[in-house]
Chain A
Amino acid sequence: MNPAGIPLKEPSISAAAGDTGQLERALIDASTRVPVLIFYTSAVAWLILGTLFAGFVSFKLHSPDLLSDISFLTWGRVRPAHMNVMVYGWASMAGMGTAIWLMARLCRTVLRYPLLLVAGAGFWNLGVLLGVGGILLGDSTGYQWLEFPSYAAIILFVAYTLVASWAVLMFRFRRGEQIYITQWYLLGAFLWFPWLYAAGQLMLFVVPVQGVLQAAVGWWYANNLLFLWFGAIGLGTAYYMIPKVIGRPVYSYHLATIGFWSYALFSSWTGMQRLVDGPFPAWMVTASIAATILTLIPVATVGLNHHMTMQGYFPLMRYSPTLRFTVFGAMSYTVFSLVGVLISLRSVARYVNFTEASIAYSHLGLYAFFTMVIFGSMYYIVPRLIGREWRYGSLIKLHFWASAYGIGLMTLMLLAGGFLQGSSMENPSLAFSENVETILPYLRGRSLSGILLTASHFIFAYHFGLMLFGLGRKSTVPTFLNPVEAEGAGAH
């Protein structure tokens, strides 16, 4: 135990220590090094590109004449480009990187068939590149969340098949009977995604469904991507990182079981609440609203489980970057779900249905929850792959606060602006353009939050770059956020 009470990571391979467990983990980490770093590096590159797109999109909403003469920089193309880069470039690749590392660790076997993963990452990057290029050149399919033209979608699917088949193979080589909670979520994510993606593509492009059902399939896909792919990876990661960093088992396995199955059952039925009052049979929307409310069961069980695990260990968030990001993400999952329930209620949806509030909801899920958990896991995993520690605790702190304030400000701006926009839209005596005037200050506030997030991502990318080039600290002590205090705490 080091002074701050945080268990140290395993020192780099030293058989002399005689601890076979540590040696084994170090070997596994070493075997995941190349594939996971490929996924992470690509993800960070996409994150930077997506951030630039995001800033452009945000500013153009209140300065519409910015560069609008250029067809591939028109708002309606850059916005889906931003979303797809973030969803398929950043979040999916970073999530897969973390999932691969966790799989190897939890199956307690060195990573086999790394070429499958390397090829998968290559194809995935190619698919995202072609897809984003296609969108910017005017090839978007016009379905939200599935804008990638079919040539890109096929490549993504091939890439995905490689990664998922690797995951199933790894399961065959696993050691030990116990399947840890994280593995349930990861296995679920790896199996749900291909079905989801294939069903979406088939029902929209190959054997297209009629009329409004396309929108239903589209939102079914989008919400399940959010919950069963990103949500599952995010929750699984949190279930690993929180107990690992504080060195304490998960509070309750039973709660985790209830949480997992209720999550799979209820969250997969959400999606139609986004079509509230649209041209659909009312039962579809009502079923999804009910399912959204029922997701409070997994939220409560997962939240309670994490909280009880953390009980008494919250002060460690002052020191451990991983813990700080992960706990922030896990808490955001609760906020995200509560906001989701709130805006799905018919009486509220009437006001927020066609407003920026739904953008706030997506960002809460994809950023405040998922991305923050993934940042946390990267702070844990990357040093174990490279054998160096993060160079500057101060940069990690800056990254955290810029991200946390950025996403907090953005959520507040978009939720408040969305409610006001919606209520002025519901008042037909106000001219429509009053809506736009109502929300403009909030859009400017959102741009401000965009500056914070941009700063945080560039700081992170710089720090990650230092690590990649081997410029991290050579030490066996992890980088703490408040190292002086950490040492001071050990004095007594």
Chain B
Amino acid sequence: MKGLAPLFLGIFGTFAFSWVGLTVIPNWQIGHLNPQSDEEGTDIYPMPQSGMVQQGARVYAANGCIYCHSEQVRAEYAGADIERKWGDRRSAPRDYIFERPVFLGKMRMGQDLANIGARAPAEQESPSPGGGGSPAGSPAGAAQSPSPSTAQPKTQAAQPPESAAQQQQPATSPATSPAVAGPSTGIASPSPAAAPAAAASPGAPPSAGPPWPEQTAGLPPMYSAAWHHVHLYSPRSINFDSNMPSYRFLYQARRISDARSSDALQLTGSDAAPEGWEIVPSYDAKCLVAYMMALNQSHPLKDVRSTGAAAAASPAASPSPAPGGQPPK
């Protein structure tokens, strides 16, 4: 090849072609999406994230959760994601417009988390994505409902323990606890009221049968905030075969001063804190769980077809009385 000019031009030209084609044009096509709403301008989805959820996303990034967990549901024709009940419709670009960074993920050493918040027991389900209308209801709604105007992290920081953690635990009625979607079989604990009894027996690893997703005796209801904390602290107390690392450094052991903190983790067996001590989540751990509880793509999107049969599995899509939930139509 003679002369530099054609070489330079070619090098720049090929790269510019790729840059325009794969980043600039897509940005023009789907880079400026708005939340959708119904005719009256209500039922807005998605909503901006609260400060605590954003902080949780930073904890998620810092600890590399993305290297094992994806946050995207593939369409029915493309994979078994929907059959695995990871969602009732495929993910769409509009689901992610407020996410930064976006954690689509490239690896599923662990489960997909796109709808992990939607799988929480109805009692403390994340603010249903369309539910910006009535933030006053439950503590969960108050703390996590994204109200863009008053998103001071300070006030929210004071609130979340009630929402994200174990406050509801004593209050959870037996009726709501096994409300998790999916086949609840033998081992399912009838209610968390049985927790103290089961806690006495040293850790009950589910040795028989598929260990996940099933309720383990003596633990908080699956996918509740309290359950996430136990799972993060000691993954193998919930699923013996899990190869998720434990995140104990996000938790603190402290001496019980007067009464057991409402935040304290309900640990069993060898994980349990010694007498007079308790394990409580740090602020980062609470944010991380708040972030996970907010992961919820169950709200229908106009441009994406939801699978009819699976829609029933989604608490937010069904007209169930989700506390923070459905706005008045």
Contact = CB atoms under 8 A, between A and B. Distances in A.
A209 B31 contact: yes
B103 interface: yes
Given A350-B78, A355-B107, A171 B19 contact: no
B48 to A, nearest CB: 12
Interface in A255-281: 257, 261, 264-265, 268-269, 271-272, 274-281
B241 A437 contact: yes
Nearest to A75: B245
A277 B80 contact: no
Contacts of B106: 144, 274, 353-354, 358
Given A68-B246, A142-B103, A280-B93, A288 B22 contact: yes
B57 to A, nearest CB: 8
A144 B18 CA distance: 20
A264 B11 contact: yes
Contacts of B109: 61, 436, 439
Interface stretch (B2-10, B116-124, B128-136, B216-224): B2-10
B171 interface: no
A114 B104 CA distance: 43
B33 A211 contact: yes
A143 B78 contact: no
A324 interface: no
B230 to A, nearest CB: 15
Nearest to B103: A142
Nearest to A435: B108
Contacts, number: 235
Interface stretch (B69-77, B259-267, B321-329): B69-77
A179 B2 contact: yes
Contacts of B308: none
Interface stretch (B84-92, B138-146, B150-158, B197-205): B84-92
B201 to A, nearest CB: 22
A79 B100 contact: no
A224 B109 CA distance: 26
Interface string A46-90: 000000000000001110110011110011110110000000000
Interface stretch (B58-66, B160-168, B172-180): B58-66
B21 to A, nearest CB: 7
A287 interface: yes
Contacts of B250: 71
Given A74-B245, A279-B95, A213 B31 contact: yes
Consensus secondary structure, chain A interface:
helix
A98 interface: no
A32 to B, nearest CB: 22
B22 A287 contact: yes
A191 interface: yes
B96 interface: yes
A179 B10 CA distance: 15
B26 A65 contact: no
A142 B249 contact: no
A142 B64 CA distance: 7
Contact of B21 (A144, A269, A356): A269
A466 interface: no
B61 A142 contact: yes
A192 interface: yes
Contacts of A224: 18
Nearest to A79: B67
Given A64-B244, A65-B246, A264 B10 contact: yes
B186 to A, nearest CB: 14
Interface in B205-254: 210-213, 235-236, 239, 241-250
Contacts of B100: 208, 214
B101 A355 contact: no
A69 B248 contact: yes
Nearest to A265: B14
Contacts of B19: 195, 199
A442 B309 CA distance: 37
B15 A228 contact: yes
Nearest to A288: B22
Contacts of B245: 60, 64-65, 68, 74-76
Q: Chain B interface residue count: which class?
A: 35 or more
Interface string A175-203: 00111000010011001100110010001
Interface residues of A, number: 90
A195 B19 CA distance: 10
A212 B64 contact: no
Contacts of B103: 142
A350 B33 CA distance: 28
Interface string A347-379: 000100111101100000000000000000000
A79, A199, A433 — most chain B CB neighbours (10 Å): A433
A209 B27 contact: yes
A363 to B, nearest CB: 14
Contacts of B105: 354
B107 A213 contact: no
Interface stretch (A133-141, A243-251, A309-317, A454-462): A133-141
B98, B100, B102 — most chain A CB neighbours (10 Å): B102
Interface stretch (A1-9, A327-335, A423-431, A476-484): A423-431
A204 B248 CA distance: 31
A217 B22 CA distance: 8
Contact of A214 (B11, B92, B101, B244): B101
A74 B63 contact: yes
Contact of B31 (A138, A143, A210): A210
Given A64-B244, A79-B67, A433-B242, A212 B102 contact: yes
A213 B4 contact: no
B18, B65, B79, B242 — most chain A CB neighbours (10 Å): B18
Contact of B22 (A70, A138, A271, A426): A271
A211 B64 contact: no
A220 interface: yes
A119 interface: no
B62 A140 contact: yes
A107 B10 CA distance: 20
Contact of B7 (A184, A195, A217, A272): A184
A433 B11 contact: no
B84 A215 contact: no
A428 B83 contact: yes
Contacts of B78: 276-277, 346, 350
Given A74-B247, A187-B8, A354-B106, 14 more contacts: A71-B249, A184-B7, A192-B11, A209-B23, A209-B27, A210-B30, A211-B95, A278-B72, A279-B95, A350-B79, A428-B83, A431-B210, A432-B111, A433-B239
Sorted nearest first, the 6 A-B pairs with minimum C-beta distance are: A76-B64, A142-B61, A431-B210, A268-B18, A211-B96, A277-B78
30 contacts: A64-B244, A69-B249, A74-B63, A76-B67, A77-B62, A140-B62, A141-B101, A142-B60, A142-B61, A142-B101, A179-B2, A179-B4, A203-B27, A209-B23, A209-B31, A210-B32, A211-B93, A211-B98, A261-B10, A269-B17, A279-B104, A354-B107, A358-B107, A426-B79, A431-B211, A431-B212, A432-B111, A433-B211, A434-B210, A437-B241
Interface of A: 60-62, 64-65, 68-71, 74-77, 79-80, 138-144, 171, 177-179, 184, 187-188, 191-192, 195-196, 199, 203-204, 208-217, 220, 224, 228, 257, 261, 264-265, 268-269, 271-272, 274-281, 284, 287-288, 346, 350, 353-356, 358-359, 425-428, 430-437, 439-440
